[in-house]
Structure formats: C-alpha cells, structure tokens
Copies of this chain bind each other. A is one copy, B any other.
Amino acid sequence: MILMKKIQLYLSFVNLTSNELALKLNGFLMSCLPSDYADFLHRQETNPYSLTVIKNQDGFIWTVNLLNDEAIQKIGSQLLTLREIRLESYDGLITIQRIEQVTLTLKNLTDHFYAETKQPTFTVHFESPTSFKSQGEYVIIPNLRLIFQSLMQKYTRLVAQDDEIDTELLAYLDQHTRIVSYNLKTRYFTVHKQKIPAFQGKLTFSLRGAETLKSYVQMLLKFGEYSGVGIKTSLGMGGLTFEERRN
C-alpha cells in the first residue's frame, strides 16, 4: 500500500530566489487543482502535501511530497504530466527537464519501526528554512522537543488520523535525546512581506534508551522526509532529510 509519494521536478533556471519561487509554485499548484479541492486544502490545519524548492547548478529542484491517497491522486496526476510551467507573475517559461518519483509504503515505514538499530546518533539536515512556533513566538534555536512534537503532530494527523499526540511519549523522547553537534545558520523566509525567522543546516542528536524508541525515532524521521517539519511546510519551509544508516 502506497502511503506517500515524493515527486521531484527538475526545473530550468529562473531568475528568482528559492523562497520566491516556492511561493509562486505553490500558487501555481493550487491553480491547477479543482477549486473545491484547493479550498479544502486551504482549510486544513496539517496539509496533506509539503514542498521545497532548492537551487542546484542547473536550475531548481521542486520537490512536492504527497502525504495521503487523495493528494497522490489529485495533485500527483497534475504534476506528472507537466512539461513546462508558466507563472502568472514571472515572464519566462520554466521548462521541466525531468521528473523523478519515490514512493513510501506502509511497509517501508514499519520496516523502520521493527528494524533493530544500534545507532546511537541521528543526523538531520534542514534543507530549507525551518521554524517553529511556540507560545506565539517563533523559535529559531534548535530544540529537539519542538522538532519531535511537530513530526508527531503531523504523523498523528496524517497517518494515524488522530488529533492528539502522545504527550508522555514526547516528554520521554525529550528526556532521552540530546543535541551533540550542529552547524546551523538563520535564514529569513518571506511570506507576503512577513519575514519569518528560520534556520537551516545540520543537526546531530543522540538517543539513550530502548531499541524500540530508536526505531520509533527512525520512523518519525523517515516520515519527516515527506511531511517536512515545523511551520509553513506547504510554502517551502521545513524540508528535512536524515542520514539513514543501516547496521
């Protein structure tokens, strides 16, 4: 059973920042969808898709993660047939050089959960500007509790179809993990003239405790590669990858 899908569109060079392009591509994507589904998406607290735009030497990689069946059907079908993109507020024609896709099955995820792992540390890359909101304030200092809380919230809503996260598990995770190294810098992400403080880079944490806890974290991070982490993941923020090590 396919749970989620990651579609990567390799775009020609565009004279915009990845921040600007991400916002425009999100608008473009919404304009391609049936309006009732686009409206439905606007009302969701946790969107069933996330996206990032990352510059490479040839142009930009636009990644769209589709986080449930309906999104795979309705958004995926639009993306996979695209050959070029004409944005409303950008003159040039953007050509799509190639499209790659990866699927995540329930088995992929649960394999992570049941895989024995001796791995004591986990390294996470925040590929696009990442930010959290806590008590009405943006948090740009790395904070494992907020990272896990966000991933658990997204997982609970999208996969477990529940609304309440296991706060005891979150507290336990927080107590048993520790940041051991990082290389991070702040980067502001602009949305409708609002500059959102965020950070980007690499973070490694260690985890003490039961094997199953490690497996759970590994699963949560694998899920996070699709869901993203933190706020505004459908506008280009919070793109996450982790260094998967098998042993």
- Which residues of the other chain, B, contact A197 by a CB distance below 8 angstroms? 180-181
Q: Is A109 an interface residue (CB 8 A)?
A: no
B186 x A185 contact (CB < 8 A): no
Within 8 A of B (CB), among A109-149: 140-143
Partner of A182, one of B143, B180, B181, B186: B186
Known pairs A141-B141, A141-B142, A142-B141; A182 contacts B185 (CB<8 A) = yes
Quick one: CB contact mask for A171-198 with B, threshold 8 Å, 1 for yes? Answer: 0000000011111111000000000010
How far, in angstroms, from A130 to B142 measured CA to CA in the complex? Answer: 17
- List residues of chain A with CB under 8 Å of any chain B CB: 140-143, 179-186, 197, 199
Main SS of chain A's interface residues? Answer: strand
B185 x A184 contact (CB < 8 A): yes
How far, in angstroms, from A60 to B167 measured CA to CA in the complex? Answer: 51
- Which residues of the other chain, B, contact A183 by a CB distance below 8 angstroms? 184-186
Closest Cβ of chain B to A118, distance in Å, is: 21
- Which residues of the other chain, B, contact A180 by a CB distance below 8 angstroms? 186, 197
How far, in angstroms, from A185 to B182 measured CA to CA in the complex? Answer: 5
- Which residues of the other chain, B, contact A199 by a CB distance below 8 angstroms? 182
- Which residues of the other chain, B, contact A185 by a CB distance below 8 angstroms? 181-184
Q: List 11 A-B contacts (CB under 8 A).
A: A141-B141, A141-B142, A141-B143, A180-B186, A181-B186, A181-B197, A182-B184, A183-B185, A183-B186, A184-B184, A184-B185
